[in-house]
Amino acid sequence: MNGYGTLTDGLAAALDVRTGVSVREIEWRDSLVRAAADDETFEADLLVSSLSLAVLKRGAITFAPGLPAVYRAAIEGLDFGLSEKSVMDFEAPFWPRDRDVIIRASEDGCFSLFFNNHYPASGDAFLTARVLGRNVPAFVELSDEAATNQVMDALKDMFGAGLPEPRRVKRSRWLHDPNSAGAYSVDRLGVPSFDHRSVLAVPVSDRFAFAGEHTHPCYPSTVHGAYLTAKRAAYALLG
Ligand SMILES: Cc1cc2nc3c(=O)[nH]c(=O)nc-3n(C[C@H](O)[C@H](O)[C@H](O)COP(=O)(O)OP(=O)(O)OC[C@H]3O[C@@H](n4cnc5c(N)ncnc54)[C@H](O)[C@@H]3O)c2cc1C
């Protein structure tokens, strides 16, 4: 399994992709568009911004001129969800080998931790622990050792004491990554998001449009949704 890298490598093969460049300002004028980073400025005829919703919500990017009120309201009206992963490599599975997902119901009634079992797909004794929502902020503050202990305690709850320790653990801290600051857009509780996403789907001008999972009215929070929005924005601007 090579993951989504296979898709992005293929898409990027014919393009000039710059990584490690942090955009600070997007200037969208009738005559041109510019994206300004710390040390360089990119000037173009057309600009598609796929900055994540969290980056837009944080106000980390200056827009010149400022975004129209309807776009600001749409960005404000959506929420950004939290999700972190700990991938654990064990000597051999001690859990049901044929189950794709294992869920632990916590005492407060929420599914606070669930596990993806990689064994059916790859034959690897990998479990990915997923920590979601309100449990994330405390979890990302834990040391690697404490985080693994917490996940192992959950597994021991389900499968009994005396479990083997993982050989290797790799964990995310997307909440603390300034370029993601979380996982993906979510609806605000009780507020349908369709209208906000539909606003963001419309190009801001003839030269400037938004893309990204948060701008797809029907398939938000997914890779295919994000992919489709990029095509939509490109076709809209190219006419
Ligand atoms: C734990 C988890 C599990 C998931 N599981 C699935 C799944 O099973 N199936 C599925 O379809 N989707 C899944 N998703 C959702 C999917 O990953 C996202 O919806 C998708 O990656 C969003 O793509 P995007 O291009 O909109 O945003 P992103 O992938 O967030 O891309 C935004 C880009 O902007 C860059 N950026 C941010 N700030 C700046 C800046 N100032 N200057 C320049 N660049 C900047 C970031 O580095 C990033 O590369 C999952 C997500 C998470 C977190």
**CATH assignment of 83-176, among 3.90.660.10, 3.40.50.300, 3.10.580.10, 3.30.465.10:** 3.90.660.10
Domain regions of the chain by residue span: 5-79+184-238, 83-176
Lining ligand 1 with CB less than 6 A are 22-23, 50-52, 55, 83, 85, 179-180, 183-184, 212-213, 221-224, 226
Distance from Cα 35 to the centre of ligand 1, integer Å: 20
Q: Complex ipTM above 0.95?
A: yes
Confidence of residue 192 (pLDDT cuts 50, 70, 90): confident
Q: Is the pLDDT of residue 111 over 70?
A: no
**Atom 21 of ligand 1 has which residue's CA nearest to it?**
223
Question: Which DSSP state fits 115?
Answer: E
Tens digits of per-residue pLDDT, 11-35?
A: 999 999 999 999 999 999 999 999 9
Which DSSP string corresponds to 8-66? Answer: HHHHHTTS----S--EEEEEE-SS-EEEEESS-EEEES-EEE---HHHHHTT-SEEESP
User: Does 3.50.50.60 match the CATH number of domain 5-79+184-238?
Assistant: yes
Distance from Cα 52 to the centre of ligand 1, integer Å: 7
Contact 170, 87 (CB under 8 A): yes
